Amino acid sequence: MPLPVPEGYRPLDERTLPAYLAGLPAIAERLGGSPADWRAADVGDGNVNLVFLVHGAAGSVCVKQALPYVRLVGESWPLTLERIWYEYQALIECARYVGRRVPEVYHYDPRLYLLVVECLSPHIILRRGLVDGIRYPRFAEQMADYLARSLFFTSNLAQPAEEKRRRAALFGGNVELCRIMEDMVFTEPYRLHERNRWNSPQMDGLAEEIRRDVPLKLAVSRWKLRYMNSAEALIHGDLHTGSIMVTPQDTRIIDQEFAFYGPMGFDVGAVLANLLISYISQNGHATAAQPREEQQRWLLETVEELWERFRDAFLDLWREHGLGDAYPQPLFADPAAQAALAEERKAYLQRLFDDAMGFCGAKILRRIFGLAHVLDLETIADPDCRAACETACVRLARDLLVHPERYRGIADVTAAAAALRRDQSPAGSDLQRGTAGAA
């Protein structure tokens, strides 16, 4: 049974949407012309909500409405309507620091649990572009800037203590969406669960192996606790390559409904995890006409560039805008203290790297054994070839989780990924062997 809905709530559709939007003067003006000529299209590739693009004579808008259940699954999986309010709050808070990296908000309707935002065009979903072999030369720089600004400015490094606590408390109510991550990322893939699925029978052996893998279950539970415990910054909370829309020139971040004050490394690790999956999965998309070697080289460079630019941008922001209540300035006025603080900042970033790698491992594994899979792997037609890519992903992810000491810098991660991709062993072989490139 779906949740009972509040009075006045009704889901809109392509037919009812134009009349509704006609009642919002600013939106009507943006669309232009007569409402009778507006065309609403159900985008339909979302998993959770209703999303429509509405086109008028003068412009377009994107309308997102929460349903009292998960769209992909149906009424048997009820989910709170309030999720769209958190998305709205995250968009406006984030926009203060990242400007147009997130879509502009035009309207929020608390009765219909509906959000009207900027229609991104000609942007496409990054994951789709990567599967199709497209390269995005500006992506690493723009994504690093988004991550550094959104995470730094919402943290205690930049905010007054009271403000940070108030904001964190506001997002503290997003419990249902956080619970989904807690279950689907950190728990379900490691036990028998009706929601799990995998590439069967090729991956049956590995699925069983990770259910018996105590060191892996300990490691992933350690990261689960960190996800639950750490309110470092306002994080996107679901920052995979399906939540990023791109052109070769521009990068935009969408789908903020999982936002809350959580560990910074969860966002950084999510992006890197999905780039690494894309990298390894390119083996399954290579053809004689499109060998994908350039794409793979670019993806590995992007993983490195993204982390390095993020780290440097974050440190720059901290040096220039570190006015929050953590590390109070008067305590570090003299040169010796300043030098010590500079070392402290570097250590903070090293700890953030470790977090990102732990979450990266967890984010990779859930895409192979949990409910939600990714196009990068699912569109590989040959199940054996797909399983070889998946096995390489699993090896990398397990090693990141169980042997973090092998990954002190981003080059250790890309070296391990490159070695695994070159040496894609048959599916289901011994996991404990770890990765060829590391150690």
Site of interaction with Mg ion (CB under 5 A): 255
Total of chain residues touching ligand ADP, rule CB under 6 A? 19
The reply to whether 119 sits near ligand ADP by the rule CB under 6 A is yes
Q: Mask 64-83, x = binds ligand ADP (CB under 6 A)?
A: x-------------------
Which part of the chain contacts ligand ADP (CB under 6 A), choosing from 17-25, 249-257, 274-282, 336-344?
249-257
The CB-of-314 to ligand ADP minimum distance in angstroms stands at: 26
- For residue 419, what are its two tokens? 């070695």
Q: Which is nearer to ligand ADP, 45 or 344 (CB)?
A: 45
Cβ-contact 388, 424 below 8 angstroms = yes
The CB-of-349 to Mg ion minimum distance in angstroms stands at: 29
* Per-residue DSSP letter, 195: T
Residue 119 binds which one of ligand ADP, Mg ion, none, with CB within 5 to 8 A depending on kind? ligand ADP
Find how far residue 135's CA is from the centre of its chain.
19
Name the burial class of residue 122, with classes exposed (0-12), middle (13-18) and buried (19+) by CB atoms within 10 angstroms of its CB.
exposed
Cβ-contact 209, 190 below 8 angstroms = no
Whole-Å CA distances, 17 to 38, 104, 181, 404: 9, 20, 31, 50
Q: Which is nearer to Mg ion, 315 or 372 (CB)?
A: 372
Residue nearest to ligand ADP (CB): 46
The CB-of-254 to Mg ion minimum distance in angstroms stands at: 7
Q: Which is nearer to ligand ADP, 109 or 399 (CB)?
A: 109
Q: Mask 122-151, x = binds ligand ADP (CB under 6 A)?
A: ---x--------------------------
Cβ-contact 188, 370 below 8 angstroms = yes
- For residue 239, what are its two tokens? 């920052």
Residue 51 binds which one of ligand ADP, Mg ion, none, with CB within 5 to 8 A depending on kind? ligand ADP
The reply to whether 254 sits near ligand ADP by the rule CB under 6 A is yes
The reply to whether 259 sits near ligand ADP by the rule CB under 6 A is no
Residue 42 sits at φ, ψ, to 5 deg, of -75, 120
Matching residue, tokens 């020139």: 249
d(CA 152, CA 167): 14
Residue 49 binds which one of ligand ADP, Mg ion, none, with CB within 5 to 8 A depending on kind? ligand ADP
The reply to whether 209 sits near ligand ADP by the rule CB under 6 A is no
The reply to whether 117 sits near ligand ADP by the rule CB under 6 A is yes
CA dihedral 390, 394, 396, 397 (to 10 degrees): 130
Nearest to 267 by CA among 298, 243, 296, 299: 243
Q: Which of 5, 19, 43, 161 binds ligand ADP (CB under 6 A)?
A: 43
d(CA 127, CA 245): 9
Q: Which is nearer to ligand ADP, 277 or 397 (CB)?
A: 277
Cβ-contact 17, 60 below 8 angstroms = no
Matching residue, tokens 């009812």: 16
Report the interface residues with ligand ADP, using CB under 6 A: 43, 45-49, 51, 53, 62, 64, 103, 117-120, 125, 254-255, 257
